[in-house]
Amino acid sequence: MRTRPLVTLALALPLATHAWRSSLYPADWVPPSTDSFYTDKFLQDYSYAGYHRSDKALPLVTSPVLNVLQAPFLADSSGKTDATSAIQKAIDSAGKVGGGVVYLPKGTYQLSVGDAAKAALTINRSNIVLRGDGAGKTFLFNATVTMRSKVIVQVSPATGSSWSAVAASKSLVTGDLPSPTRTIPVANTSLFKVGDWVIVRQKMSEAWIAEHKETGWTGYANQFTGMVYCRQILSIDLTRKTLEIDVPIRYALLMRDTAKVYLAPPMLEEVGIEQLSMGNAENPATTGWGENDYTVAGTGGYDNHDSWLVKFDRVRNGWIRHVESFQPLGNKTGAHLLSNGIQLTQTRGITVDSCHLQHSQYGGGGGNGYMYRVMGNENLFRDCRSTFTRHGFVLADMLASGNVFLRVHDKDGGHQTGSTGNETTSGRGNDHHMHFSHSNLFDNCIAENTNFQAAYRPYGTAPMHNLTAAHSAYWNTQGIGTDPYVIHTQQARYGYVVGTRGTVTEVRTTEASTGSATMTDPVDIVEGKALGTTLEPASLYADQLAKRLLRETTSNLPKPFTQTVPFSGPTQFTGHEIKLGDHRIDGSRSGR
């Protein structure tokens, strides 16, 4: 085994005069392994989120490069004629040779989505990067204005099943797993080999619903996915009949609920979208932008419903970076996009980095006006912004676990451009939206004229959203504006708020009108309101990542097969920025 150098981590900046630490995160904190998800309060190790568990920096793919302006593609970069087929031809050509960079030089590329099509551009093979010359230089302009349930760029395998479709090669878990663990006992280890990607899952049961006192879900157990974790097998112990997986489970798995392990379906890998701007011609309707107009045919809300800029589905270890929305010429209301921005569903290890999406035309009910929505595991949203939309950053469903939102900034929530350019919506904020998304982290995030929520939500259709979160943490959150609170948290079991700062620092933990006290008991943990500027460490994610990399450096723990040595040069420190060779961990106290 290759030995990595021992690195001593230290912070060059002196501690603040009144520096303090959370009682949940002492200086000698180690990842929890025996605490019960059902009864104990603890902070998990959130450091596994992102591309290759954040063990590797995002790559810069340099070859082969397929320039869409050159033969045989000959796309038009003036925006005057449709370039959809030319760009798709380049994408398909890259797929046939095993991948590459589909390069869009600066200019405007007009796209369209046919009546029978679901997407303008489709990436259905691994190792393809769609790259422009930079946001504000390369523009993808979609001219199709009727986009109900359609997307501009779809990234997903051409065929295959979902994570929740149980594969033939499956084995029951042979012991209850009440705590965060990477060791899974199974009945039959012969079904698996080291390096396999697997789904570790348990079904929802009526007994689970009763344990969580969620009477609103009684009778609906078969409509939930249950806990679903996409993991890679690092080692197999044939004697103990256990699998060692690369990331801990994020909630209790019980034999009673038929916890099982099975091979993951085919997924794309190493796909990236980067360095470009995206926008959509606005819908010309002057009416039909109400909360429920998404159900009324012929209205603007109906035509815009469930439309997206980008969707990643069944993708692991990929990225979206430096992608921004823009207002196309002719969009009189100021709209950049019709409804939604980026969606990650059934994804593992996607990094969404330095993106800015804003100004949705429709933000009605049924899932509209979301800039970033995740229904997957261990994804990282870093330095991203959302402006002027219904919901900025959203988690949904039990699929959403282990995700980290680092230094994201949402401004002016609860808006749509509609037909006037400035209409309010009935929903707002950045939320755990529905159905028990769990064990996620918001770290050094900013809410400007909006807020963050992990609240009880008795909304939607049966089974209603109700319990939206458990064991999720808000660390060092900044509030700006005039909202009465920056965080509203009512999580099942425990939720955690550690440190708030800015002009809005209040935290709300109850909601009498929803009758949710029984389901969300005990009240969530809140520490350090208005004391975030002196919280140590400034970033939980950065500190946990540094600890884990150091721990793995000096241990004999098996490493993922896709992992490379994350640092090879000398260690350098600049303030709170820690550099392990070429690996950067930024824990600075940014004013963002």
Residue entry with tokens 């302006």? 69
pLDDT tens track for 528-568: 999 999 999 999 999 999 999 999 988 876 777 643 333 23
Q: Distances in Å between the alpha carbon of 332 and those of 139, 279, 324, 471?
A: 18, 13, 19, 43
pLDDT of res. 558? 74
Cα 94 to chain centroid, rounded: 27
Residue type at position 529:
K
Which DSSP helix (H) or strand (E) runs through 547? helix 540-553
Cα 460 to Cα 454: distance, rounded to the nearest angstrom:
16
> What is the per-residue burial (b if ≥16 Cβ within 10 Å, else e) of 571-590?
beeeebebbbbebebbbbbe
Contact of 157 with 128, CB cutoff 8 Å: no
> 3-class DSSP state for residue 304?
helix
Q: Strands of 238-369 (E only): list them.
A: 242-245, 260-263, 268-269, 272-280, 308-313, 315-325, 342-353, 356-358
Cα 238 to Cα 220: distance, rounded to the nearest angstrom:
38
pLDDT of res. 330? 95
Q: What is the DSSP letter of 256?
A: G
User: For 544, how many CA atoms within 13 A lie in the half-sphere containing its CB?
Assistant: 22
Q: What is the DSSP letter of 532?
A: G
> 3-class DSSP state for residue 211?
helix
Contact of 261 with 198, CB cutoff 8 Å: yes
Residue entry with tokens 């400034």? 538
Contact of 89 with 120, CB cutoff 8 Å: no
Low-confidence stretches of the chain (pLDDT < 70) are 1-17, 557, 561-592
Order of strands, sheet of 197-202, starting from the edge strand that comes earlier in the sequence: 170-172, 260-263, 197-202, 227-237, 242-245, 183-185
pLDDT of res. 586? 41
Cα 166 to chain centroid, rounded: 24
Q: Residue 11 corresponds to which tokens in the numbers above? A: 């912070």
pLDDT of res. 362? 98
Report all structural domains of the chain as residue ranges with CATH numbers, in order of start.
65-159+268-534 (2.160.20.10), 170-263 (2.40.30)
Contact of 287 with 238, CB cutoff 8 Å: no
Of 144, 181, 187, 145, give the one whose Cα is nearest residue 169: 187
Taken as a whole, the chain contains a residue count of 592
pLDDT of res. 56? 94
Residue 236 burial (C-beta neighbours within 10 Å; 0-12, 13-18, 19+): middle
Pairing relation of β-strands 446-448 and 409-413? parallel
Q: Residue 276 corresponds to which tokens in the numbers above? A: 């470009």
Q: What angle do CA 9, 15, 16 make, to 5 degrees?
A: 155
